[in-house]
Every structure is written in structure tokens, then in C-alpha cells.
Amino acid sequence: MENILCKNCQTTTSGNFCSNCGQKAKTLRLDWQYIKDEVKYTILHVNKGFFFTLKELYTRPGDTINEFIQGKRINHYKPILLLFVLAGISGFLSLQVDMNALMQGYNSQTLNSKAMMEYNKAMTWMFSHYALFEILALPIVSFLSWLSFKKWGYNYIENIIINCFAGGQRLVFSIISILLYLVVPKEALVKFSSITAIMTFGLTVWTYASLYKDKPRTALILRILLFLFLLMLVFFIFLVIFTIIFMVYLIKAGIVPMPGK
């Protein structure tokens, strides 16, 4: 077989791939055939792993996650990449939704009109960047799930993978919800958003119940309740911090008076 000099690391090789760096031994000049091959590979790769993984997460989430952790991975899209890809799609679609109309459906009698406008702006930004929060919350949520289910075998890193899949599952539902937001009448947006929030919450419960379905039912229910309690506790802490920062901003901006004045 002909010896070829690898153009990447300058190692002489006789196979189809460089034995040193793994690059293809023969690299041809870039042309339309290259573009065609790359597009074909990308589409086939996505179809093979991406949509298969999404289907599995909505038909047998617990078994799918467990099999992936145990090593059955060839047919699946990489979970961290899955989360980022879906977050990108969700983030893009969020920009197409009139979040201001959604926030105007919520009313607060405790803030003046200027303060309410600022509140709407902040909440609009947060709703529009839901996918970003999914990614940023991943280490915290994974720690809470590890803490809640740590006696059942999965370590912290494996919990990150579990929550990548669970987060991807929620983001798919979020993408579908965003598409529906575009056609739902404005007067029904608040009610619709409440329903989708409850259903999103339910997806996570279903996933964990499915993942640990072989455990004693009472113990499973208690650990899921512990996990949900810890999630709500962290959310409450975040909400308190957000409220404090928001009120400090309003006071410094002169939108609301200093307490006691």
C-alpha cells in the first residue's frame, strides 16, 4: 500500500487514516463534492442520533437514560450537545414571541406603573432566555438530583448526563410551546403559559419516576418529593435574590422611593 504523508502532523502512514492524529490520509482540494459529502454526512448523522434520541426520551425516558449511562450509546446524540443544540433552537424561537403581551397579562398592585414596566422588561428577558437558564442551572439541578437519589447508584457526573437528557426533553416541549405561542390569542397567553409550565414540571417527574421505576414505590415517591422540594427551595432563594436586586435597582433609579421616606 502506498505511503502517504499526513498533511496535519507530517507522519508517514499507509492506511486510510493517519495512525498518529487520526485525520484522513488523503485530503483532496475543497470543491462542490466536499460540500455535498459534508451536508450528506451532517443530515444522516443528525437523523441517526438526534431524532432517535428525542423519540426515545418521549417514549421510554428512564430506560433510554439508564442504557446510555451503562454504555449503550452508539445510536444516541451526545447529551451535552443535545442540550446546547435544543437551547439554541429554543432561544432563537423565543425571540419571535411577543413576551411583552404575555407579561402584560400579569398584574401587580404593589408597584407603580414605571416599576411595573421595569418588572415586565426583566421578566420578558428571563422568559426569552429560558434555554440559557436550563444550561446555567444544570450543575445545581444535577447536585440536587444526586443528593436526592445518591443511594441509588448514580454519581454526580452521571446526574449531569441524566439532567442533560431531562433538560433536552423539557426544551423540546418548550420549542413546541413557543410555536403554539405564535398562534394562541393574546388574551389566552397567561393561562396557556401556566398550563405549559405545569406540564413541563410534570415531564421531569415522569422522567425520574421512569428512571427509578424498579425502586420501592414509597421510597421513590419520597425521594422525588425531596428532589422537588430542593428545586423549589433553590428557586425561592433565587427569587428572593432577584427581588432584592430588582428593588435596589428601582430605588437607585428613583423609580420607587427609599423605604421610610
**Is 257 inside any structural domain?**
no
Cβ(101)–Cβ(184) below 8 Å: no
**Is 12 inside any structural domain?**
no
What string of H, E and C letters represents the secondary structure of 131-193? HHHHHHHHHHHHHHHHHHHHHHCCCHHHHHHHHHHHHHHHHHHHHHHHHHHCCCCHHHHHHHH
pLDDT tens column, 135-185: 888 999 999 999 999 888 899 999 999 999 999 999 899 888 888 877 777
Q: Which domain holds residue 80?
A: 32-98+108-252
pLDDT tens column, 71-119: 888 888 888 888 888 888 887 887 776 666 555 555 544 445 666 666 6
**Is 3 inside any structural domain?**
no
**Is 10 inside any structural domain?**
no
Who's near 136: CB < 8 A, 6+ residues apart?
none
**Is 67 inside any structural domain?**
yes
Degrees, nearest 5: CA angle 83-84-89: 100
Percentage with pLDDT > 90 across the chain = 28
pLDDT tens column, 123-134: 666 666 667 788
Task: Determine phi and psi for 258, rounding to 5 degrees.
Answer: -65, 135
Cβ(143)–Cβ(233) below 8 Å: no
- Cross-strand pairs, 5: 12
What string of H, E and C letters represents the secondary structure of 202-260? HHHHHHHHHHCCCCCHHHHHHHHHHHHHHHHHHHHHHHHHHHHHHHHHHHHCCCCCCCC
State residue 104's pLDDT score.
Answer: 56
**Is 259 inside any structural domain?**
no
Domains of the chain: total:
1
**Is 238 inside any structural domain?**
yes
Q: What is the pTM of this model?
A: 0.74
**Is 38 inside any structural domain?**
yes
